[in-house]
Amino acid sequence: MTSKELSNGLLRTIFILAGVSFTLFLCYKLSTLIVYCVVSVVFSLIANPLVEFLKLKLKFKSTLAVITTLILFILFIISFILLFVPLLISQGDNLSLLDINTLENSYNEIISNIDTYLESHNINFKQLISTSDITSKINFNFIPDIFNSIINLVGNFGMGLASVLFISFFLLKEKDQAFKIFKFVLPRNQKNKILISIDKIQHLLSRYFIGLLIQLFIILVLYLIVFLIFGIENAFIIALLCAILNIIPYLGPLLGIIVASILIMISGIGQDFINETLPTTLYVLIGMFIVQLIDNNISQPIIFSKSTKSHPLEIFLVILCSGILFGVTGMIIAVPSYTALKVIGKEFLPDNRIIKALTKNI
């Protein structure tokens, strides 16, 4: 190898590394836009059957069909948000979330009630609390910060929703042109493999999302039965909220149990804590725990393994690794991302023994 060839190779490597670094930097800076685009693509795939139905069955024009679909989606979001208004009003009657003093007094009342109950069973709760110094570490002034965060979240959600709807409008309206452009820029020698991979990924992810909706519906029904048995106010809304939290694997059910217990105890302020509120809360928690046992051992493994054609242990390890590496977001996107990677691996590395073993059912 001559010095000229060596220098050219070095320069080529430097330019490649610089290009990769610049691309990663742009992805980092434009991560929000990338997320909007990905969400828009997913939403377009979900909404496309409705658009096609309006066009073929009801003879809507393309633009009108897309606008109607987006309006229906917006109405669904508004209806979903309004569904939780009775819950907020009901809890607001028991506890003013904007009044920090009231919140602290209610907290102290609950602690006092728990202390009275435990003392009747010869357990010194006050000594335990004072030893651990928990109360001195609780500062209720964090409430305004939470509300500021909620306001920022609502603002970001509004901007994100507007961006997703705008992008989705053109993806749905001009999907044929967009797909033609996408196929045009694909490398010719890999075009067929890429198109086959996209078709398989779309099929498996459709199965996965349908399976996820079935799982959430089963959890919603079981939670609702538990709440109705014990006469919980706003049973449907709380059950729906807990079911939605179940989207977060493993962590979501725990959050749902915490949220449900807090709402039940707040609703029970003013009642007989020892004889009414506490037993009801404990019974509901036991019922929710039984629901999670049913979901984790029966419905979830069957639904997910069938929809993604992956072994339940395989899914568990993928979710666990994604949670460790990328947190809650990683846990949510773990199964769809892993499914897509399996399809891509099967198409581009079909002779690899590991990929063969993992994709034998695809």
The DSSP string of 122-150 is T--HHHHHHHHT-GGG--TTHHHHHHHHH
Q: What is the rounded average pLDDT of the residues 8-13?
A: 78
**Cα four-point dihedral sign 20, 23, 29, 30:** negative
Whether the model pTM is above 0.85? no
Task: List the one residue out of 56, 46, 38, 73 whose CA is nearest residue 172.
Answer: 46
Q: What is the pLDDT of residues 327-355, one digit of tens each?
A: 777 777 788 888 888 888 888 877 778 77
pLDDT at 135: 47
Task: List the one residue out of 305, 317, 89 whose CA is nearest residue 204.
Answer: 305
pLDDT at 286: 92
Q: What is the rounded average pLDDT of the residues 308-318?
A: 79
The SS3 call for residue 86 is helix
Q: Are 186 and 194 in contact (CB under 8 A)?
A: yes
pLDDT at 222: 92
pLDDT at 40: 83
- The yes-or-no verdict on residue 151 having pLDDT over 70 is no
DSSP for 41-83?
Answer: HHHHHHHHHHHHHHHHTS---HHHHHHHHHHHHHHHHHHHHHH
pLDDT at 225: 92
The SS3 call for residue 349 is coil
- The yes-or-no verdict on residue 144 having pLDDT over 80 is no
pLDDT at 96: 45
Task: List the one residue out of 335, 327, 360 whose CA is nearest residue 346.
Answer: 360
Question: Average model confidence (pLDDT) for the chain?
Answer: 76
Q: What is the pLDDT of residues 280-301, one digit of tens each?
A: 888 899 999 999 888 877 777 7
pLDDT at 176: 73
pLDDT band per the 50, 70, 90 thresholds, residue 252: confident
**What percent of the chain is modeled with pLDDT above 90?**
3
